[in-house]
Amino acid sequence: MTMVAFPWGIGDDGRTALIDRGRHVRDLIELVLFTSPGERVNRPTFGSGLLQAVFGPSSDEVSATAQMLVQSSLQQWLGELIEVEAVAVEHVESTLNVTVQYVIRADRERRIENFVRGV
């Protein structure tokens, strides 16, 4: 199944860029992870708050809180599309690494994706 790419763009063929379901779901997960609540005017609770959580002192408690933020946000916003199996959040110097293991509900495809963001 193909879907319109987000953000919208023009493909190599000069038409609207399309992506497959797996890439679409990955893009949705990234959108939830790195959007801060309050950032969207018409959906003020959308996002995970992950970026704010990592600016505190590094500790086991902060890491556990970040993992719970990610897991609960993905469940809230994408629970109809995916089943989250595991989340790992690692903050190393100025880089945030998030690994999400999930199953796409539509075709039961299991995936592991790594998301990296400089903070």
The DSSP element (H or E) to which 38 belongs, if any, is: none
Token pair for 36 = 């801060």
Mean pLDDT of 1-10: 83
Token pair for 93 = 């110097």
User: Can you tell me the distance from the alpha carbon of 103 to that of 15, in angstroms, rounded to the nearest whole number?
Assistant: 30
Chain segment 49-93, per-residue pLDDT in tens: 888 766 666 666 777 888 898 999 999 999 999 999 999 988 777
Q: Is the pLDDT of residue 21 over 70?
A: yes
Q: Is the pLDDT of residue 101 over 80?
A: yes
Confidence band for 10, pLDDT divided at 50, 70 and 90 = very high
Pairing of strands 18-20, 2-4: antiparallel
The whole-number pLDDT of residue 58 equals: 64
Token pair for 67 = 């993992």
User: Can you tell me the distance from the alpha carbon of 111 to that of 1, in angstroms, rounded to the nearest whole number?
Assistant: 17
Q: Is the pLDDT of residue 105 over 90?
A: yes
Mean pLDDT of 26-49: 92
- CA distance between the termini of the chain: 34
- The pTM score is 0.86
The whole-number pLDDT of residue 94 equals: 72
The domains located in the chain, with CATH, are 21-118 (3.10.450.40)
The whole-number pLDDT of residue 54 equals: 64
Q: HSE of 68 in the Cβ direction (CA atoms, 13 Å)? A: 6
Q: What is the 3-state secondary structure (H, E, C) of 82-105?
A: EEEEEEEEEEECCEEEEEEEEEEC
